[in-house]
Amino acid sequence: MQLGQIAQKLEAMGVKTLGVVATDAERARLYFRFRRPRMPVGADPDLTTHRAYGLPNMPPPPEMWDAVERAAVRELKLPESPTGGAYQQLAHFDAYQVTTADNADFERHQAQLAGQFLIDREGIVRWVNVECAREGLDGIDRLPSDVEVLGAARAL
Amino acid sequence: MPGTSVPQNGDRVTTNGRSTPLAPGEPAPDFTLPAAHGDGTVSLTDYRGRNPVLLALFRGLY
């Protein structure tokens, strides 16, 4: 389930969705020109929001690259291959070419984990999902199910 | 940054970094950031008292 699809279902319940992407606004706008987001997205290249919400950040562990490859296999619904290459295939399908600016972001950000927070009208966090908190590195790039998110929204 | 509306100091995240993720029951830090999907800004404050919000924090484009 992609976040855009969850956002549409939440919208029907009166819950808005906001995104924050960790790159500068100019680069993000270029990306979103071709992949229009279904929600407002803020640009935060300095990770100030990620830090304020306490999302983990660390030097990339060596096993992270295998986890990224497995996430690409999962995304593309490919059979596991000992030769790898799924991440490159995913990048090919995405048709996005990583630039030196993106590589510079990665050098500064290291392994920054993602997360989702459901916040009520009074500004209180009511539900949290932190990437990899449940499945370890196998949870990389994995969103919570729509059942879980919509259930949390109904409980507000 | 040409063409970018950068919030003034004090408009960005006002809470210091923390070592553990926010937990249910804690107040969500306000923020105002340059919009990445168009012009203007994106601010959590705009939704206070109006709508619940699902906030999704992503990595960069690498």
Q: How far is A48 from chain B (nearest CA, A)?
A: 6
pLDDT band of A40, cuts 50, 70, 90? very high
| Residue B9: pLDDT over 70 | no
**pLDDT value at position A139?**
86
**pLDDT value at position B17?**
65
Domain limits for position A116: 3-154
**How much is the average pLDDT of A74-96?**
66
From A26, A47, A151, A49, select the one nearest B55 (Cα to Cα): A49
3-state secondary structure of A79: coil
Contacts of B37 in chain A (CB under 8 A): 28-29, 32, 36-37, 39-41
Question: Which residues have CB under 8 Å from B21's CB, separation 6+?
Answer: A53, A54, A55, A56, A115, A128, A130, A133
Instruction: Measure the CA–CA gap between A44 and B13, rounded to whole angstroms.
Output: 10
**pLDDT value at position B6?**
31
Contacts of A29 in chain B (CB under 8 A): 36-38
Instruction: Measure the CA–CA gap between A94 and A96, rounded to whole angstroms.
Output: 5
Contacts of B56 in chain A (CB under 8 A): 3, 17-20, 39, 114-116
Arithmetic mean of pLDDT over chain A:
86
End-to-end C-alpha distance for chain A, whole angstroms: 22
pTM here?
0.80
Crossing angle for the helix pair A86-94 and A64-76, to the nearest 10 degrees? 60
State whether A31 and B18 contact (CB < 8 Å): no
For B23-56, the pLDDT digits (tens) are 999 999 999 999 998 889 999 999 999 999 999 9
What's the total number of domains in chain A?
1
**pLDDT value at position B36?**
92
